[in-house]
Structure 1
């Protein structure tokens, strides 16, 4: 009989850990690019600076921040929410109306119910603005070809790429594989030991990154390679 309190304590601890590591009442998934397919497809259409694109911007951001194992990937689907496909994400979005969309509401919260949940860092103001703009522009399943392999500066190419597609799983509060990609020093260390390039190219012996998502476009992989070959400058 004395085992019951111990058993209940264990159950409550497990629930608490799940709550801390995953997101609640989130909306989201999509048909484009989920779960380990090939490189993210692009339409060949030039990008407009006035538009936000689902395949290029929104899906990688949500996969990195919300669709890790135990939360909103296809296997875990916490609270029935899957954030790895367009169809799933649209269940939580009202096209043309960000402020009425569950997805937007939960990422702008400042309490324990926000997404990603504490202690994970919140999305940046720029990321939130992109999601809001994408929804208000009709939440289209759109893509474009914006990558420029001649541009591989850390501040304008590499850091934004890592922030939007990798940092959700690799920050001080969520050290996937023990790797922190939230700082230049962390990104540089991962680049110099071969982990960064091995992971994004899905090389044998490395964990595929982004994990649970599509492989980075070839152009972005070339940008990373050029930056590494240039000596990983903090430029």
Structure 2
């Protein structure tokens, strides 16, 4: 009788273990990006592809400008546990699902119809172009890639084609119609020229001594700083 009980008990234990393992495998596993554990971007060694969205160049400036100010998604305040100040934190806290923008919280909150849930909260929503950048980046795999160094074009720097989109992605989150941080509103050419004329624009973006470095939490590329300087030196025209 004892032997029968032991055999029965062993059967139950094996059955339970098999059942547990089967259930464990039923839990969906989210595919991880190629380099999920660090902030070091993967250099593809290839020229920049106009059809590819690069995190450091295209996505991070939008997040820094619109989402990491005081009280929001920075490393200090960590609103709702979400931090959007670098690649590793974005991937760890923002529920980004590579290849599936529609199922990623980072994208869903940008297109939310309910104003109480839409981000950035209590402020102007991102532009359609900015939302498209983030959507495309996620759908392309949410990778942390950089492209090969390309020639910096400072020969044809115009406000409409170069400066306006540069400022919109990197500065408009803090300097807009709703939030003119420091008294500066960069949503128009005239507003930007105010910072040009007093020297604060070039001083801030070049991180010169005596100026508050901008953008907040980041830095423009050397090429972008050169483009701004070129535009300023030629009269900061509305061209």
TM value normalised by structure 1 = 0.79
Of 84, 106, 110, the match for 2:109: 106
The CA deviation at 1:178 is 1.5
Asked if 1:131 is matched to 2:134, the reply is: yes
The CA deviation at 1:45 is 3.8
Which residue of structure 1 lines up, in the alignment, with residue 10 of structure 2?
Answer: none
Asked if 1:208 is matched to 2:213, the reply is: yes
Secondary structure at the counterpart of residue 145 of structure 2? coil
The CA deviation at 1:41 is 11
Asked if 1:226 is matched to 2:230, the reply is: yes
Aligned residues: 199
Which residue of structure 1 lines up, in the alignment, with residue 12 of structure 2?
Answer: none
- Could you give the per-residue CA deviations for residues 1-38 of structure 1, whole angstroms, max 9, x where no partner exists? xxxxxxxxxxxxxxxxxxxxxxxxxxxx99549xxxxx
Higher gyration radius (CA): 2
Counterpart Cα distance in 2 of 1:208 and 1:166: 12
Of 182, 188, 193, the match for 2:193: 188
Which residue of structure 1 lines up, in the alignment, with residue 90 of structure 2?
Answer: 89
Matching of residues 1-235 of structure 1 within 5 Å: 32=39, 45-91=46-92, 92-110=95-113, 111-118=115-122, 120-144=123-147, 145=149, 147-213=152-218, 215-235=219-239
Show structure 2 runs of 5+ residues with no match. Answer: 1-35
Q: Report if aligned partners of 2:42, 2:144 keep a CA contact under 8 Å in 1.
A: no
- Compute the RMSD of aligned alpha carbons: 2.2
Counterpart Cα distance in 2 of 1:191 and 1:165: 16
Counterpart Cα distance in 1 of 2:125 and 2:235: 31
The CA deviation at 1:79 is 1.4
Does the C-alpha gap of structure 1 residues 200 and 133 become closer, same or farther in structure 2, counting only changes over 3 Å?
same
The CA deviation at 1:43 is 6.9
Q: Report if aligned partners of 2:68, 2:84 keep a CA contact under 8 Å in 1.
A: yes
RCO (CA 8 Å, sep 6+): is it higher in 1 or 2? 1
Q: Report if aligned partners of 2:42, 2:145 keep a CA contact under 8 Å in 1.
A: no
